[in-house]
């Protein structure tokens, strides 16, 4: 009897590979603004407060990620999970900003970066 890998195990493996790829790459902003490379000390001092424009940008990114988190259920379930996690990441940044915390610019850029969506082999909007 030939054994096949259950779909849940396959999806877990895809998700793990994506998570490792996310952690191993330098985030590239998909939004119009780009930030130059900074040293660790500059990054820690370059944090952002909750400006209305930034919050609006984060809200738009969250809505985009949430809508895409159900758009690829049949063609690329891992991509659904990717967008769901990105929406969670944007929500976390927004919560921290609303709580009055200074959020490092790198955290904001990473939350807004969806460039790894293209690695799933499915055309993304």
Tens digit of pLDDT for each residue in 88-113? 999 999 999 999 999 999 999 999 99
Q: Where are the domains of the chain?
A: 49-116
The Cα–Cα gap between 54 and 47 comes to: 12
pLDDT of 114 over the 60 cut: yes
Regarding predicted confidence, which is higher, 99 or 124?
99
End-to-end CA gap in the chain = 42
The pLDDT mean for the chain works out to 74
- How far apart CA 47 and CA 94 sit, in angstroms, is 13
Phi and psi angles of residue 15, each rounded to the nearest 5 degrees, phi first: -65, -40
Q: What is the pLDDT of residues 15-30, one digit of tens each?
A: 545 554 444 443 433 4
């Amino acid at each position: 009897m030939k054994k096949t890998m259950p779909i849940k195990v396959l999806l877990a493996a895809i998700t793990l590979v994506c998570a490792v790829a996310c952690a191993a790459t330098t985030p590239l902003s998909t939004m119009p603004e780009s930030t130059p490379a900074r040293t660790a000390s500059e990054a820690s001092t370059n944090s952002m407060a909750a400006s209305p424009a930034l919050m609006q940008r984060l809200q738009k990114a969250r809505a985009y990620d949430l809508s895409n988190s159900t758009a690829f259920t049949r063609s690329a379930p891992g991509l659904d999970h990717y967008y769901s996690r990105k929406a969670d990441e944007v929500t976390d940044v927004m919560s921290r900003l609303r709580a009055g915390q200074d959020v490092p610019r790198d955290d904001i850029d990473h939350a807004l970066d969806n460039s790894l969506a293209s690695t799933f082999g499915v055309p993304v909007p």
